[in-house]
Each structure stands twice: as C-alpha cells, then as structure tokens.
C-alpha cells in the first residue's frame, strides 16, 4: 500500500488539493457579492480550463453545423440536378414537338392545294436493299389505300403504293430502279420520264438532244398517265450531257424530297397506272 502511495503520490496530492480547494470555494460562495483572494485564485486557475472547454464546445458545434449544412447542400444539389435533367428532357421534347408541328403544317398546306382527297401517314419502316428502295407507312386497306396510289411529301413526290396490308402499306420510292414518273421541265416544258437510278438519285429519260434542259431546272409531274396530279415537284436537274451520237441526252435529277429523313407523307386517294 505504501509503495502504491509513493508511486502515485503526486496525482493523489494534486487530487486531494483540488477537492479541498473546491470544497473551500463552495463554502465561500455564500458571499456572492464579493470574491475573496482565494476565490479569485481558484477562478484564475480554472479559467484556462473553462476557456478550453468553451473553445472545444464551439468547435464541436461548428463542425456539427458545417456537417448539417453540407448535408443540406448535397440534398439541394441532388434536387437541382434532377430538376435540370427534367428541364432538359422537356426542352428536347418541346423542340421535337415544334419540328413535328412545322412538318405537319407544311403537309397540311400541301393538302389544301390538292384537288383530290388524301390521307396523312407516318413512316414506320424502310427497306434499302440493293434491289428495292421502299418505305413502310402506318396506313393500309382499312384507311382506303390501294396499290398504285401516289405518295407525296410537303417538298415533292415520294413514290407510289405497291403493297397494301390492313393497317400498313409499302411505298416504292421514285429513286428505285422500278419507278417511272412522267415529268416536264417547268421552265422549257421539255418532257421525259423520271426513272430511279439508285443512290438517292434519278434520271430524266427520253429527253431529245434538242430539248432545252439546263442544270438547276425544276422537274414537275406532267399529269400524263393519270396517277400523279399535274405540277407536283419531282426534283432539280443536277447534270446534263449531250453525246455526239444518239437522239437522247443524259440528264441526272436530284429529288426534291430527302428520302432518308422522311417522317410524314400524304397518300393521294386516286388510282391509276402510268
């Protein structure tokens, strides 16, 4: 026991002294108006401890406050990111709707200029095989479609209906090798037949060498054959070549309609054969 007291005599003495001092300090608290020398001494001794405690408390409180603020900021950032994503989606949807409305207005304007009834259809598929260039539309026999009906877009001729199912139909594009449409040069009234040649291009066949055809001329349907109404835009002459021999000239035509970007069409409710 004595060895233990000797070993820890300084902590024991210090503790006893603190206890005695605190007890004496408590007994002297009766006179609250004035602090004696002993009270002032005790206050001076424990003042740094109190200051350290206050600083630690303030630091802990500040860390907790910063943590709470950080959690709130993260939550707000997450909410803001979700809001931004939602707004971006709505902006894209709005742009798509605006573009669709613009296309449909142009198609409606064309519909108003036609003398024959028509049915609007959306492009739902395509076939770009080496042998055929066709599109699939979402209108069919239940809508009154028949084989041979002409198909147009706001910017010009698309092709003809070649196969009809109950709720869909296949359209042979004017750029297909099997397609042929009677045409006339709008400026000079030179005649010919626009044939598909693949690669998104056409040619004006059976145009005599002496016919006045120039690059940049617009080709329109002639109305002959009874399929396409007269005056629909087919395309623009992109190349004219007159050989030394033969009675015809070689003429390339760029279609007015970009078939690769076609989304809506009008099917003219008339039937016939070129």
> Residue 193: is its pLDDT beyond 90?
yes
Compare 245 and 143 and report the one with higher pLDDT. 143
Summary mean pLDDT of the chain: 79
> Residue 139: is its pLDDT beyond 90?
yes
179 vs 194: CA distance, rounded Å: 8
Q: Which helix (H) or strand (E) holds 235?
A: strand 233-241
Least confident of 52-56, 145-149, 193-197, 233-237: 52-56
Mean of pLDDT values over 104-120? 74
Cα of first residue to Cα of last residue in the chain, in angstroms, is 126
pLDDT reported for residue 243:
74
Q: Which residues contact 215 (CB under 8 A, 6 or more apart)?
A: 237, 238, 239, 240
pLDDT reported for residue 273:
43
Task: Enter the pTM of the model.
Answer: 0.63
| Residue with tokens 């950032």, as numbered in its chain | 77
> Residue 32: is its pLDDT beyond 80?
no
**Closest listed residue to residue 262, CA positions, set 170, 163, 152:** 152
Q: Which helix (H) or strand (E) holds 15?
A: helix 9-27
Sign of CA dihedral 109, 110, 116, 117: negative
pLDDT tens digit sequence for 62-71: 666 666 677 7
């Amino acid at each position: 026991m004595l060895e233990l007291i000797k070993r820890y005599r300084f902590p024991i003495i210090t503790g006893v002294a603190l206890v005695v001092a605190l007890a004496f300090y408590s007994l002297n608290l009766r006179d609250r108006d004035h602090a004696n020398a002993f009270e002032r001494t005790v206050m001076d001794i424990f003042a740094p401890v109190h200051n350290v405690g206050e600083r630690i408390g303030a630091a802990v409180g500040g860390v907790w406050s910063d943590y709470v603020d950080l959690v709130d900021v993260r939550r707000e950032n997450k909410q803001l990111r979700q809001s931004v994503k939602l707004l971006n989606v709505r902006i894209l949807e709005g742009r798509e709707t605006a573009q669709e409305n613009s296309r449909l207005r142009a198609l409606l304007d064309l519909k108003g200029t036609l003398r024959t009834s028509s049915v609007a259809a959306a492009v739902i598929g395509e076939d770009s095989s080496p042998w055929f260039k066709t599109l699939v539309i979402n209108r069919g026999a239940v809508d009154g479609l028949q084989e041979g009906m002409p198909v147009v877009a706001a910017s010009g001729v698309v092709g003809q209906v070649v196969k009809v199912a109950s709720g869909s139909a296949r359209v042979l594009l004017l750029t297909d090798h099997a397609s042929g449409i009677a045409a006339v040069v709008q400026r000079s009234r030179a005649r010919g037949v626009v044939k598909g040649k693949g690669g998104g291009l056409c040619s004006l066949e059976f145009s005599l060498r002496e016919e006045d055809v120039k690059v940049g001329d617009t080709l329109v349907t002639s109305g002959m054959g009874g399929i396409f109404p007269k005056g629909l835009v087919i395309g623009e002459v992109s190349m004219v070549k007159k050989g030394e021999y033969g009675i015809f000239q070689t003429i390339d035509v760029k279609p007015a309609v970009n078939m690769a970007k076609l989304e809506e069409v009008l099917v003219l409710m008339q039937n016939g054969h070129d």
